[in-house]
Chains A and B, each alone.
Chain A
Amino acid sequence: MAARQGIRANLIRTLGFFRKEIFSVFRQPRLLLTLIVGPFLILLIFGLGYRQTPPPFRTLLVVGSDQAQLVADRQDLSEAFGDAIDLRGTSTDAAEARNQLAEGDLDLVIIAPEDPMSALDSGERATFTVVHGEVDPVIRANISLVARLSVDEINRRVLADVVDVAQDESEELEALLAEMETVSSQMVTALEEGDQAAARDATASLRQDLEAADTATGQSNDMYASVSRSLGAEEDELFSTLEDHISQAESEDPDAALEGARAFEERVGEVRTQVERAQGLDPTVLVSPFAAEVEQVNEVSTQPAIFYSPATLVVLLQHLALTFAALSLVRERQLGLTEVFRASPLGSGEVLTGKYLGFGSLSLVVAGGLTAAMLAFGVEVQGSWPMYGLVMVLLVVASLGLGFLLSGLSKTDSQAIQYAMIALLLTIFFTGFVLPLDQLAAPVQVVSYIIPATYGIQALHDIIFRGVAVEPVILAGLLGYALVMAIGAWWVVRRDVDSVGQRLSN
């Protein structure tokens, strides 16, 4: 009977704290607005306002006064620079362009090489100089990338033009090869019929054509060979064996001559086919023959607004729960209520359970609202909803525990707020919220795992995007973290609430 009464009294005390925390929060409309409606608004504004691609850089191209062709080719250049660069115009005055950059009217100034041919003649690359005034390291990296891609595109276009010219030149070669194919056929027929005179005329004609063809191919011969090698083919000189075959066709031995003539005919046909194939290739493909294609094993949209939604939810939820907990205990200490608690039959377990239940319920209601907002933005949960719920509960319990522990270190509520803000700052940099965890050195990742959001973000990414079970180590880590924090929180509350004697005797 006494035991039952004791349990009932325990429940009443626990319920007292639960109700008190709920009443306290709902009595503060501004706090509600800040802590509950605020996160909704943040998620909404983020989702609506985030631009997947950054705005193009406002750019001016500076050219030399004798580079009128570049100005004329502005449209081509603009295409080469791509969507990341908004080419506003061209100028010959570099100083004025830099002034505009300094005044913020431009984001980039691209200065074209003054005399690219001289640089090439001296074996050097001609340089496009990209000038900017950006201080943000992410945007600076983006500028470097855009500059490199733009120059690569210009180089590709130049190469394509060269190939196009080479293809035009090879038309003469193709005509010679066609003629050589006809004559070689006549040579084979003459040898088969034993007409030595006709065969000699044919070989003489072929030798002349061969010489002309060699001259006609010139640099193109090397180019084709090079392209062929680059594409992985074995080295194959176009005309290397024709000389050998024609010499054999001139042999006194009729059988050997016929064999040489047939080999020549076959080889000419092959060469002609190769040349025809090279002529038919798109120059732009030829200079950039390989392309990359990315394939995602799942079909989840990874637009930034969607990708960051679960992490944002985790961070907001952690901050909310942590702040609730940190402020609650400090406030009671500041009000002097711990004195009343110590004189009462209240136990630290009852205080802690009541607070966990009160703040936990409020936090989970907020988590539900944030989840609804996340789904409204288009996030689809690929994995298990029960697992999602479990992660939310563990995250809230872990965050509350951390908050209670921080409140043990705080003497005033402003100190508690400062600790909460430091925790938020750590969360932004160390949990994978903004930067991937892999980019942190291994020892520094220890910091990551003292923040509950690290576990929460990884778990939600698994559940929401990958549709797989949360890695056991993450789930166990979050559970362990929540337990350790609960023990720490119990220590803090016990110090505040339990009577002196109870603390001394244990």
Chain B
Amino acid sequence: MGVCNPGMHPTDPGLAVATSNLTKSYDADTGVFDLDLAIEPGTIVGFIGPSGSGKTTTVHLLTGISSRDSGTVEVLGEDPARFNKETRARIGYMPQHAILYPDLTLRQNLDFAASLYGVPLRRKDRVERLVEFMELEGAIDRLPADASGGEKRRVMLASTLIHDPDLIFLDEPTAGVDPVLRRKFWDRFEELASEGKTLLVTTQYVGEAAYCDYVAVLARGRILTIDTPEGLRRVAYGGEMIEVSFDSPPESGLVATMRDLPGVSSIDWVDTDRVRLVVDEAEPALAALSTWAEERGVELNRSETYLAPFDDVFVELVSRLEQPEEADVGS
């Protein structure tokens, strides 16, 4: 049995995606192994991991592009290997690379994608709305060769959403997209989730984990952990973190007594006047720290909950969960 998102089980009713021991092996370390997932409708699940960790294979298995070796899988209540056309029409899939006909303009490519999903021919308004949202007005009538990488990605995303799918698989949708538009993409994803759509998003931008309801960390074809973003931080560091800075740094022996505070599991010096503490719960630990400082006459410049950047979280996670393994997580 693999790792499943907390509080959920693949046999739970009404799931958008449910897998149990899903396995697809290309060789001993390549593929997907013992994948357990239980994804509720209306959630955004991020798949984060280094290249070759099995993100795209997972998407291919869930969309029916590839066949599994073993395990069970249900997507929208059906086995992807036996999807009917109606179910397929409820799914949107954006591949990892921009795949466009070079002889068609971006608009014609988008129109063709609409045809694939049987979108009625009177779809001009729908197309224009997506063009506007994707800020493609100036580029939509260009050939792919004359468009930027970001514009091509935007057309691919528009093509994925053109038929208003219920379940959306996005394989690295923000790759090559500038930070401003990337933010807009995620705003749109959150909007879609709020409309009840389910999104499975792979990415190498670990910072994007913050936008997800759940994040699955993959390495060597296995889910190392799957949790909420906050949960991942806790897993990475063994608890919550607080950061304390001093007006004048006390003696190190005095600082070491912080470990005696309830719930404190470790203390690390960040620089000469700043330490980070790993605690069970941040709120009571901050209150206890305040008392500790008053009792010892230590002046605290600042003490607050510390939210580690997800880049650091993932480095920590991978090194913790895959000890001997080199992490290749992008930033």
Contact = CB atoms under 8 A, between A and B. Distances in A.
Contact of A344 (B86, B104, B116): B116
A180 to B, nearest CB: 100
Q: Which of A17, A27, A347 has the most CB of B within 10 A?
A: A27
A384 to B, nearest CB: 38
Contacts of B113: 340
B253 interface: no
Given A12-B119, A16-B115, A500-B66, A340 B93 contact: yes
Q: Which of A6, A15, A342 has the most CB of B within 10 A?
A: A342
Given A12-B121, A335-B99, A337-B99, A342 B65 contact: yes
A17 B108 CA distance: 11
A23 interface: yes
Contacts of B117: 9, 344-345
B103 A23 contact: yes
A23 B88 contact: no
Interface string A314-344: 0000000000000000000001110111111
B286 interface: no
A9 B89 contact: yes
Contacts, number: 106
A20 interface: yes
A504 B81 contact: yes
A386 interface: no
B65 A499 contact: yes
B67 interface: yes
Given A9-B118, A340-B99, A504-B67, A23 B104 contact: yes
Interface in B91-149: 91, 93, 95, 97, 99-104, 108, 111-121, 143
B64 A345 contact: no
B121 A343 contact: no
A139 B100 CA distance: 53
Chain A interface mostly: helix
Given A344-B88, A347-B85, A499-B83, A336 B99 contact: yes
B80 interface: yes
Given A6-B85, A16-B112, A505-B82, A336 B118 contact: no
B164 interface: no
A346 interface: yes
A10 B97 CA distance: 27
A46 B82 CA distance: 56
Contacts of B85: 6, 9, 345, 347
For chain B, give the interface size range: 35 or more
B66 A12 contact: no
A345 B101 contact: no
Contacts of A346: 116
A20 B81 contact: no
A471 to B, nearest CB: 41
Contacts of A13: 115-116, 118
A16 B169 CA distance: 23
Nearest to A27: B103
Contacts of B93: 340, 343-344
Interface in A37-89: none
A502 B87 CA distance: 13
Contacts of B114: 16
Given A16-B116, A343-B64, A499-B64, A28 B81 contact: no
A502 B82 CA distance: 6
A123 interface: no
Contact of B120 (A12, A28, A344, A499): A12
Interface in B258-293: none
Q: Which of A28, A336, A337, A499 has the most CB of B within 10 A?
A: A499
Interface string A173-209: 0000000000000000000000000000000000000
For chain A, give the interface size range: 20 to 34
A8 interface: yes
Contacts of A15: 115, 121
Nearest to A343: B93
A339 B61 CA distance: 12
B116 A340 contact: yes
Nearest to B169: A343
B156 to A, nearest CB: 9
A436 interface: no
A301 interface: no
B79 to A, nearest CB: 7
A501 interface: yes
Contacts of B89: 9, 345
Nearest to A335: B99
Interface string A470-506: 0000000000000000000000000000011110110
Interface string B280-310: 0000000000000000000000000000000
Given A343-B65, A345-B117, A20 B112 contact: yes
A241 interface: no
A344 B118 CA distance: 10
B279 to A, nearest CB: 46
B63 interface: yes
B184 to A, nearest CB: 24
Interface in A334-362: 335-337, 339-347
B101 A20 contact: yes
A13 to B, nearest CB: 6
A500 B64 contact: yes
A7 to B, nearest CB: 10
A501 B104 contact: no
Nearest to B99: A336
A251 interface: no
Contact of A501 (B82, B86, B97, B119): B82
A228 interface: no
Nearest to A14: B115
A24 interface: yes
Interface string A224-257: 0000000000000000000000000000000000
B67 A500 contact: yes
A336 B102 CA distance: 12
B162 to A, nearest CB: 11
Contacts of A340: 93, 95, 99, 113, 116
B124 to A, nearest CB: 14
A505 B80 CA distance: 12
Contacts of A501: 64, 67, 79-83
Contacts of A499: 64-65, 80-81, 83, 88
B99 A343 contact: no
Contacts of B97: 336
A12 B104 contact: no
A24 B112 CA distance: 12
Q: Which of A10, A12, A17, A502 has the most CB of B within 10 A?
A: A12
Given A28-B103, A343-B88, A343-B91, 17 more contacts: A19-B112, A20-B101, A20-B108, A23-B104, A23-B108, A27-B103, A339-B60, A339-B65, A340-B99, A341-B116, A343-B63, A343-B65, A345-B86, A499-B81, A501-B79, A501-B83, A505-B82
5 contacts: A16-B112, A341-B116, A345-B88, A501-B67, A501-B83
Interface of B: 60, 63-67, 79-83, 85-86, 88-89, 91, 93, 95, 97, 99-104, 108, 111-121, 143, 169
User: 6 closest A-B pairs (Cβ-Cβ)?
Assistant: A16-B115, A9-B118, A501-B81, A343-B93, A345-B88, A345-B85
